[in-house]
């Protein structure tokens, strides 16, 4: 696979987006977000998403010039309407509002409706953790995410992810970020681009049979909830919080359009205990967990966030791998937009 530096991919993303009519500042924000996902090892939310975004712009599903509207506000809450702006722009503003309110009132909850795909949720949870707060992000996602309810085989839910982040005083914050399915739909997309099989237990084909072939998902198959009924329950909760509470809509109901309904929280740790005490306790907890006995064949116990931050360090040194098929599709997109190599 081609290996690219982060800056090469950022430049490519900016050029493609600007070529599609996206304002320069927005193009830079979105491109930076996608490449950060690649750096953290979440290629499903990385530069591969440019192809989807360019298509959405062309079909009017993303409005690159939309202004995010503050619809309703209290000292500790806010409701935003993104008006189908780029999700990375709208979500960053939503978390910035949550952080500001939590600083003033110790806790804040911000909802957002009518947003296009916001990307990797952990990015926004980390915004809070980097300010000494606990951050949480939840959203629903399009039924096109293709998730069957527990015991079903029809596409009814999205992958409906959630993320939490907290400062630790250590090398990296605590970061938990995952879909409520066995894997994110974007990871199926990456597996298809690489021409590799999926792990068992991720999908059923259109006849309800277990499959490891990514093509079976796109031929009418379904994703499965993680942990059976537990992931299914979490997925429904994300639909309630991201969709019903914000007014965005729930994925399998007729009023739902597309995109993400989002709920974010920021919590000021100092409202409960001194930050230094919280970080000390977190450090001792993680040290104890990491020092515990490992199962056979396991070299090390990791804390949520460690794989991502280690991957970022590695990819900053060695480059970011891009599947050849994705690279070729991006090159064709550049040609369609009239962009010349190196321009």
Q: Which domains does the chain have, with CATH numbers?
A: 66-276 (3.30.1370.60)
The pLDDT value recorded for residue 149 is 96
The pLDDT value recorded for residue 341 is 55
How far CA 102 is from CA of 14, 52, 271, in Å, comes to 33, 34, 10
CA dihedral (185, 58, 137, 72) in degrees, to 10, reads -150
Alpha-carbon Rg for the chain, nearest whole angstrom, is: 20
Edge-to-edge strand list for the sheet holding 210-211 = 210-211, 203-204, 222-223
Query: Considering only CA atoms, which of 84, 90, 139 is closest in space to residue 250?
Result: 139
Task: Give 284's contacts (C-beta < 8 A, 6+ positions apart).
Answer: none
How far CA 135 is from CA of 17, 102, 107, 123, in Å, comes to 29, 10, 10, 10
The pLDDT value recorded for residue 343 is 43
The pLDDT value recorded for residue 193 is 86
DSSP 8-state assignment for residue 259: S
Edge-to-edge strand list for the sheet holding 77-81 = 69-73, 77-81, 107-115, 260-268, 133-139, 162-166, 174-178
The pLDDT value recorded for residue 144 is 62
Residue-level pLDDT, tens digit, the chain, 343 residues: 789 999 999 999 999 999 999 999 999 999 999 999 999 999 989 999 999 999 999 999 999 999 999 999 999 999 999 999 999 999 999 999 999 999 999 999 999 999 999 999 999 999 999 999 999 999 999 766 699 999 999 999 999 999 999 999 999 999 999 999 998 887 898 899 889 999 999 999 999 999 999 999 999 999 999 999 999 999 999 999 999 999 999 999 998 988 999 999 999 999 999 999 999 999 999 999 999 999 999 999 999 999 999 999 999 999 999 989 899 999 999 999 998 654 4
72 CA to centre of own chain:
25
Helices 87-105 and 24-39: angle between axes, nearest 10 degrees: 80
């Amino acid at each position: 696979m081609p290996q690219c530096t982060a800056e090469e991919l950022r430049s490519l993303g900016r050029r493609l987006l600007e070529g599609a009519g996206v304002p320069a500042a927005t193009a830079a924000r979105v491109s930076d977000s996608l490449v950060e996902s690649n750096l953290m090892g979440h290629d499903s939310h990385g530069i591969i998403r440019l192809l989807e975004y360019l298509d959405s712009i062309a079909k009017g599903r993303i409005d690159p010039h939309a202004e995010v509207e503050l619809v309703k506000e209290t000292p500790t809450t806010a409701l935003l309407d993104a008006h189908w702006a780029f999700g990375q722009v709208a979500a960053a503003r939503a978390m910035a509002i949550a952080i500001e309110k939590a600083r003033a009132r110790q806790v804040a909850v911000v909802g957002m409706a009518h947003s296009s795909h916001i990307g990797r949720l952990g990015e926004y949870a980390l915004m809070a953790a980097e300010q000494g707060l606990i951050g949480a992000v939840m959203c629903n996602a399009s039924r096109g995410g293709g998730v069957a309810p527990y015991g079903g085989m029809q596409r009814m839910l999205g992958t409906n992810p959630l993320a939490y982040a907290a400062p630790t005083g250590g090398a990296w914050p605590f970061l938990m970020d995952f879909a409520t399915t066995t894997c994110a739909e974007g990871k199926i997309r990456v597996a298809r681009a690489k021409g590799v099989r999926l792990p068992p237990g991720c999908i059923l084909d259109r006849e309800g049979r277990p499959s490891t072939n990514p093509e079976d998902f796109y031929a009418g198959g379904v994703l499965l909830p993680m942990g059976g009924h537990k992931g299914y329950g979490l997925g429904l909760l994300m639909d309630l919080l991201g969709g019903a509470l914000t007014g965005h809509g729930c994925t399998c109901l007729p009023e739902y359009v597309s995109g993400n309904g989002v709920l974010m929280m920021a919590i000021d740790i100092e409202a409960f205990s001194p930050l230094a005490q919280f970080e000390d306790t977190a450090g001792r907890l993680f040290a104890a967990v990491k020092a515990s006995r490992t199962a056979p064949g396991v070299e090390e116990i990791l804390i949520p966030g460690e794989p991502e931050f280690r991957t970022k360090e590695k990819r900053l040194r060695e480059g970011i791998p891009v599947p050849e098929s994705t690279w070729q599709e991006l090159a064709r997109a550049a040609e369609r937009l009239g962009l010349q190599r190196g321009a």
